Amino acid sequence: MNPTVLQEVADLLDAAARSGQAIDPVRSRLPEGDLDAAYEVQQINTRRALQEGRRLTGRKIGLTSVAVQRQLGVDQPDFGMLFADMAVADGAEIAWDRLMQPKCEAEVALVLEHDLTGEHLTPVDVLNAAAYALPAIEIVGSRIRDWDIRITDTIADNASSGLYVLGQRPVRLDALDLRLAGMVMERNGEPVSFGVGAACLGHPLNAALWLARTMAAAGQPLRAGDVVLTGALGPMAAVQPGDVFEARIQGLGSVRAVFGRN
């Protein structure tokens, strides 16, 4: 892929994020279905962010629903980067001008105690590396107008990332059965999404293992202290100014995302 074209696509997405003005899909500028090209665009903007002083704090996993994978014509999840300035305190008001076409989804977050390096990582490696789990609300967003996305659009756009909110009561994994953990997410007191841990690649730890292997193979392994958003437990829900979302996950407690008015 022409490096000039990759840089141009990265610049378009970066400008959209800075201006708050969504753009047309970028997939027509990239080879159809070329995930490597899309990830290179993501990497260009990751390097730009790090050069500007932003701090990398972990990764998010997307497309953990088999139904959504089929919709986008892929057979695997995707990932994006988490930065410190994307983290929001539980219940803190989120200014509307920080958001682009926001939607909320409830997830299990893992916080790592040990690095996940090397080849042939196993589920036990992930269990041993994770210090604890937290309930999370990911506020996804898209720089692509009207969420008109395909797989290369979302990967290039940092897996359609926005902000994230973590609960504040850490729970060790040996106290949980994440596969059977039920989830309900409410918007202004009304349930809008239901799910269970098994909806996330069969188990949230399956998603974490896929990510750990993928990042290790790419020479960018997950490190101690990283946050891993393991993927949605149920359908996402659109956000309007002034909304209050609360997600409750069995065994993990609750977390709230509070949105300001525009």
Distances (CA, A) of 25 to 109, 144, 150: 29, 6, 8
Structure tokens at 252: 């993990």
Rounded CA gap, 222 and 111, in Å? 10
Rounded CA gap, 169 and 104, in Å? 20
Collect all residues with Cβ–Cβ distance below 8 Å to 60 and sequence separation of at least 6.
Answer: 79, 80, 81, 82, 138, 159, 161, 164, 228, 229
- Our CA angle for 62, 206, 34, nearest 5°, is 40
CB atoms within 10 A of CB 31: 13
134, pLDDT greater than 70: yes
Going by the DSSP 8-state scheme, the letter that residue 244 receives in this structure is: E
Rounded CA gap, 46 and 128, in Å? 28
Rounded CA gap, 164 and 144, in Å? 19
> Which structural domains are found in the chain, ordered by start?
3-259 (3.90.850.10)
Distances (CA, A) of 12 to 21, 33, 47, 117, 214: 10, 19, 15, 34, 27
Confidence of residue 69 (pLDDT cuts 50, 70, 90): confident
> Residue 170: exposed, middle, or buried by beta-carbon count in 10 A (0-12, 13-18, 19+)?
middle
Distances (CA, A) of 61 to 9, 207, 231: 22, 7, 5
Annotate 88-115 with DSSP letters as a single string. Answer: E-TTPEEPGGG-SS-EEEEEEEEEESS-
45, pLDDT greater than 70: yes
Rounded CA gap, 77 and 63, in Å? 5
Rounded CA gap, 135 and 252, in Å? 6
217, pLDDT greater than 80: yes
pLDDT value of residue 74: 77
Task: Specify the pTM.
Answer: 0.96
Least confident interval from 60-69, 109-118, 138-147: 60-69
Q: Decide if 228 contacts 79 (C-beta within 8 A).
A: no
- Which residue(s) pair with 238 in the sheet? 103
Sign of CA dihedral 67, 68, 73, 78: negative
% pLDDT > 70, the chain: 99
pLDDT tens profile 73-122: 777 899 999 999 999 999 999 999 999 999 999 999 999 999 999 889 99
Q: Decide if 230 contacts 204 (C-beta within 8 A).
A: yes
pLDDT value of residue 213: 97
pLDDT tens profile 177-186: 999 999 999 9
